[in-house]
Every structure is written in C-alpha cells, then in structure tokens.
Amino acid sequence: MKRLGIAVTILALGLAGCGDDDNGNPGGPSNVTVFTVQLSSVNEVPPITNAESTARGTAVITINSQANTIDFNVSMNSFPSGAVIRAAHIHGPNAPAGVNQSVLVDTGLTPATAITLANGTGTLSFPGVTPSNATIIQQILASPQTFYFNVHSNLNTGGVIRGQLQ
C-alpha cells in the first residue's frame, strides 16, 4: 500500500508540471498564438458561385499578445488567372460560421494596393499589424471561433474566400 501511495504522489507531481501555458503553440513563447485558417469560397455568405467559386487558400495568423501585433501570411490558389485581390482582414466579434460581421482587424491591403494573381495563385504577407484597440487581441484569443478571416477580390468585393479562426 505504501508503494502505491508513493507512485500516486510521483505521478501527481509529474502531471502538475505539465500545464499548457503556450496558447496552442507547443515549444513557442506563451504570448504567441498561431491560427492556421483554411479558406474557401464555399465558406463565404452567401457562397461564391461565379468564376472564382473554386478559389481556396490558407491563412497563417500569428498573434503576439505581448507586442499587441498580428502577422498575416496568406497563400491563395485555384483562382482564375488575372484575379485581383483587393482586401483581406479579420471580421467579428459574434461572427460564427454563416454570419457576416464588420471588419475588425485590417491587413492594410486596399484597392489601391491590390495584387493580381497572374496564374491564379499568390501570397500576401502583412507582418506587425497593430489592431486599432488594445482589447481586440484579447477578444480574439478568448473566443476565436466567433471571428473569421477573409479575402476580397474585384469580382467578389464582399469576400471571395473565408475561414473561421479555430
């Protein structure tokens, strides 16, 4: 019986040191959270049915809560050749799948700085974006599933590919 008590104590002490304080970023600093968001035209509200209906992509959104910054790295594919990408941002709060909401964090891409996907593929990178309000990052981290990221094109100005933060 004494051995069982010792084993339980050792096990409990071992588990006590196994907390997850890295916000889903194993091996990384606890103030950094990474969201990998799968983007699709069928996730838009309403779903895209025109020439860009096959559009897809992935957004890697890295939030540094200590620096109060967000890095955006987006890869896009399956667009028609020559598609023009004119905006990209996080929408929310209170925007689960199927619900549209206002822009909350803008990447800075505008129609004046739009990019053309010559062969239907391309990437966007916006490091160090600072949200307009210091509480926005905490809101996103507290309930990421109620925020979404999307990309807008000239053909689909309301949004062409979208994915929920998870």
Give the range of the structural domain holding residue 137, as residue numbers without chain letter. Answer: 22-164
Determine, yes or no, domain membership for 1. no
Determine, yes or no, domain membership for 151. yes
Determine, yes or no, domain membership for 13. no
CATH of the domain at 114: 2.60.40
Query: How far apart are the C-alpha atoms of 124 and 84, rounded to whole Å?
Result: 12
pLDDT tens digits for range 91-122 = 999 999 999 999 999 999 999 999 999 999 99
- Say if residue 93 is preceded by a cis peptide, omega within 30 of 0: yes
Determine, yes or no, domain membership for 160. yes
Q: 26: pLDDT confidence band, cut at 50, 70 and 90?
A: low
Beta strands in the chain (DSSP E): 32-40, 56-64, 69-77, 83-91, 103-106, 115-117, 122-129, 148-153, 161-164
How many domains in the chain?
1
3-state helix, strand, coil in the chain (%, to 5): 20, 35, 45
Determine, yes or no, domain membership for 3. no
Q: Provide the token pair at 56.
A: 């897809």
| pTM check: above 0.85 | no
